[in-house]
Structure 1
Amino acid sequence: MSLDSLQAIPGIASGSLRRVHHIALNVKDMKNSCHFYRQILGLHQLTGEEVPSTLKKLVAEGKVNNFMTPDGTILDLFWEPDLLPPNPDPSHQFTRANHLAFDIAPELFEQAVEILKQNKVVIDHGPVSRPTGRGIYFYDPDGFLLEIRCDPI
């Protein structure tokens, strides 16, 4: 297919996509991952009627857990006990996704960094300061790269 023919294919109308609906991650150890996202990152775990109807059976079987970020984005954790571990060298990405970034108020950034350190979360790099703000990159229990970032003060 040529570039000209690709340009002729209509795209989704600008402004039609409203927001990220959900993000799904495969996890090897569901208990450890739930602890990480609930206790360390402080996300709300969906229970009871909050669980999407399409996932209730999988949640009841312990194969899926759902969390909600403060902006309403749903994070689905899918239990994959045979998930291969990431490359021992964390600079070798093992997925097509690069990272998931959470925004935090600038006055809470240092506290978040301290919580990561206190919980011995593996830090990839940072904190870093840029014109767009500050960020710290770290790994969840399955080696997925996450970021906590804030706008500049």
Structure 2
Amino acid sequence: MTEARTNTGGPPKLGGVHHAAYRCKDAKETVQWYEEMLGMEYMSAFSEDHVPSTGEYDPYMHVFLDAGNNNVLAFFELPNQKDMGRDENTPKWVQHLAFRVHSEDELLAAKEHVESKGVEVLGPTHHGIFKSIYFFDPNGHRVELATDIGTDEQYAELKRVAMPMLDEWSETKKAPRHADWLHEVARSENAGK
């Protein structure tokens, strides 16, 4: 049970992400894929013929999967809507779902598992403070599995330079050089593949 908090003004006090929702082509196929590929537990579903928030007629199935650590991933199947597509003005690598695994060994084991199911996997890719693999679900959503490998000092330095980086980006729209040190190892490892 979540402890009740009183808001005394200002922004709300968030308690985390309740769920993140995406569209799917087929709810049952999506549930089965996430169970088989990532071991997510199918938790529950809501299904209505009318949208509760707007009252409009638009039958849907809304499924919820346990992504671990009190995080929930949800999908909507919308059979009366046009076929789902993607934002063609945004590269496929930008919009993605990223999940944490606890070690590089788990990351490599996950890659082997997903590939054994016939899914093409990219990586591992070294990002300086984490390593990732990438693949697509049956709906075309890019999925990332990542494991943190950075040191406390690296994370502290990234936090320290976060605002100067954002300010420089806002002015120039070019990659700030504040964290070049971070990418040196990643560049050399990724180039060796």
TM-score by length of 1: 0.70
- Give the distance between the partners of 1:122 and 1:148, measured in 2 at CA: 14
Runs of 4+ with >3 A deviation: 91-94
The answer to whether the 8 A contact 1:86-1:142 is kept is no
Which has the higher Rg, Structure 1 or Structure 2?
Answer: 2
Gaps of 5+ in 2: 1-8, 49-58, 151-193
CA RMSD of aligned residues (A): 2.8
Identity of aligned residues (%): 25
**Matched ranges for 1:7-26 at <5 A:** 12=11, 16-26=13-23
TM-superposition CA deviations, 1:89-127 (whole Å, max 9, x none): 9x8349xx721110001131111011111112243x321
Shift of 1:86: 4.2
Q: Hey, what does 2:107 align to over in structure 1?
A: 109
Aligned counterpart, 1:72 = 70
C-alpha distance in structure 2 between counterparts of 1:148 and 1:80, whole Å: 27
**Which runs of 5 or more residues in structure 1 are unaligned?**
1-9
Which of 131, 139, 142 is the equivalent residue of 2:139?
142
Match of residue 117 from structure 2:
119
CA distance in 2, matches of 1:137, 1:98: 12
The CA deviation string for residues 32-59 of structure 1, in whole angstroms up to 9 with x for no partner, is 2111111111101114xxx5xxx3x44x
TM-score by length of 2: 0.57
Question: Which structure's relative contact order is higher, taking Cα pairs within 8 Å and 6+ residues apart?
Answer: 1
